[in-house]
Amino acid sequence: MSARPKKIARSEARPRVVRVSLGERSYPIRIASDGLGGVGAEVVKRTRANQVALITVPGVGRRYAGPVMRSLREAGLRVTRIDVPDGDASKNLAQLAELYDAFLARGLDRKSALVALGGGMVGDLTGFAAATYLRGIPFVQIPTTILSMVDASIGGKTAVNLPQGKNLIGAFHQPSLVWIDTGTLASLPRRERAAGMAEVVKAGALWDARFFARLERDAERLMALEPGALIPVLERACRIKAEVVAQDEREETGVRALLNLGHTLAHAIEKQMGYEEILHGEAVAIGMVHAARRSEALGLAAEGTAPRIEDLLLRLGLPTEIPRYDRRAHLEAMKVDKKKEGRKIHYVVLRRIGEAETVELSPAEILPARRSA
C-alpha cells in the first residue's frame, strides 16, 4: 500500500495498558488491535519461562494459534500446543487430568508456563492447571471473547466444574500477563459478542455512571467492533474489574461481591434452562434488569434506573425478560446457590446508575409472587 496511514490509525494502534495492582502478584493487561506478534517477548519478560504449552480449542486455535506460536518461538521459547474440545463441558476433572498427563509427557517443569488462548472456558481450565501443576507455574491469558477479556481473565479466579455444579473446584492464581488483541473478535459470533457486552454494561451500572453513558452513546459502534469505540470501552471495563479486585482480591470485604450484580437470578435461570440453551451473559442481562426493577420497587433506586439499563441491553441485542418463567424452579435454584448464607442471600441492588450495594433478601423477596413487582 502506498497511502500514508491516517493519523487516527496510529492512535488506535497504541496499546492501552491496565495494571492490576496486587503487590507482588501485579500484572499488566495489554489492550490493542495490533495483532498477536508481540506476545512472545512479553511472555518471556513476564514469566521467565523457557518452555510453554499453548492451550486452546480447535476453532480458536485454527485461526489464531499460528501467530502466537510463531511469536513464542521467535522469543526463544520451546512451544507445544494442546487442544481441548470446545464447550464448558471440557472444564472438568477428567480434562484436567489429561492436561497434567500431556504436561508430563512433554517435559513441562518449573521453568515452564502455560498460555491460554480462547474464551473463559480455556482461561479457567488453564488457570487452574497452572495453579496446581507442580504446586503452581505461571500462566498468561490471551482472551478471545469479550466476556473473557473484561471478566474471566481478570481477578485470578480459576476453576473447573463438578457434575454437582459449576466452578466448585478452583483456586486463586493470578496470570502474569493478559494480552488482548481486539482483532480476534472479528470471528466471534454476534450472540457471544452481545453476551460479553452484558458484563461490560454491568461494570458501568455498578461502578461508573459516565462509562454507562458512553455505552449508551456508542452501543452500535461497539457491536460493530469499531476499534475507536471498542478499545477505550474494553480498557475501562478491565480497569473497573481490576479496581474492584484490587480492593478485595479474595472476596473478603464485600466489594468484590458487587460484581455479582444480576448474577443471583442469572444463575437460577441458567440452572433451570440448562447451560446449553442460554448464554451466561444473556442470563446476566435478564438478572440485571430484574435487580434494577427490584431496586426501584424497594425504594432504593430512583425511578428510571431500570428502563435505562433495559434500553441499552436491548440495543445490544440482549434479552431482558425471563424466557421460561417458573417461580418455583427459580426459587429452588436460588436456594442451592453456593453464594447463599443461611436463608438470606446477599443480593446486589442499585442505588443509581454507577452505584451498587448488597442487601440481605430471601429468594421470595428477590422474586416476589407478582411478576410485575
Catalytic residues: 135, 157, 199, 241, 251, 256, 260, 263, 267, 280
Task: State which amino acid sits at residue 242.
Answer: A
Among candidates 278, 237, 240, 281, which has minimal Cα distance to 262?
281
User: Which residues in the 97-126 window bind ligand NAD by CB under 6 A?
Assistant: 118-122, 124
Residue with smaller CB distance to ligand NAD, 84 or 334: 84
Specify the stretch interacting with ligand NAD by CB under 6 A; choose among 104-112, 148-156, 209-217, 284-292: 148-156
Q: How many helices (H) and strands (E) does the chain have?
A: 14, 11
Binding of ligand NAD by 59 (CB under 6 A): yes
Binding of ligand NAD by 142 (CB under 6 A): no
Specify the stretch interacting with ligand NAD by CB under 6 A; choose among 57-65, 101-109, 217-225, 353-361: 57-65
Binding of ligand NAD by 54 (CB under 6 A): no
What is the grid cell recorded at 48?
Answer: 521467565
Binding of ligand NAD by 288 (CB under 6 A): no
Among candidates 346, 350, 352, 338, which has minimal Cα distance to 365?
346
Residue whose grid cell is 512479553:
42
User: Which residues in the 153-192 window bind ligand NAD by CB under 6 A?
Assistant: 155, 157, 166-167, 184-185, 187-188, 192
- Cα 264 from Cα 278, distance rounded (Å): 15
> How does DSSP classify residue 12?
H
Cβ of residue 125: shortest distance to ligand NAD, in angstroms? 8
What is the grid cell recorded at 183?
Answer: 482483532
Number of residues forming the site for ligand NAD (CB under 6 A):
28
Cβ of residue 50: shortest distance to ligand NAD, in angstroms? 27
Per DSSP, the residues of 61-84 read HHHHHHHHHHHHHHTT-EEEEEE-
Residue with smaller CB distance to ligand NAD, 266 or 306: 266
The answer to whether 247 touches 253, Cβ cutoff 8 Å, is yes
Binding of ligand NAD by 282 (CB under 6 A): no
Cβ of residue 263: shortest distance to ligand NAD, in angstroms? 10
What is the grid cell recorded at 155?
Answer: 481477578
Sign of the torsion angle spanned by Cα atoms 280, 286, 289, 295: negative
Cβ of residue 295: shortest distance to ligand NAD, in angstroms? 23
Task: State which amino acid sits at residue 305.
Answer: T
The answer to whether 236 touches 218, Cβ cutoff 8 Å, is no
Binding of ligand NAD by 250 (CB under 6 A): no
The answer to whether 245 touches 159, Cβ cutoff 8 Å, is no
Cβ of residue 44: shortest distance to ligand NAD, in angstroms? 24
Residues contributing to the site for ligand NAD (CB under 6 A): 57, 59-60, 86, 88, 91, 118-122, 124, 144-145, 147-148, 151-152, 155, 157, 166-167, 184-185, 187-188, 192, 280
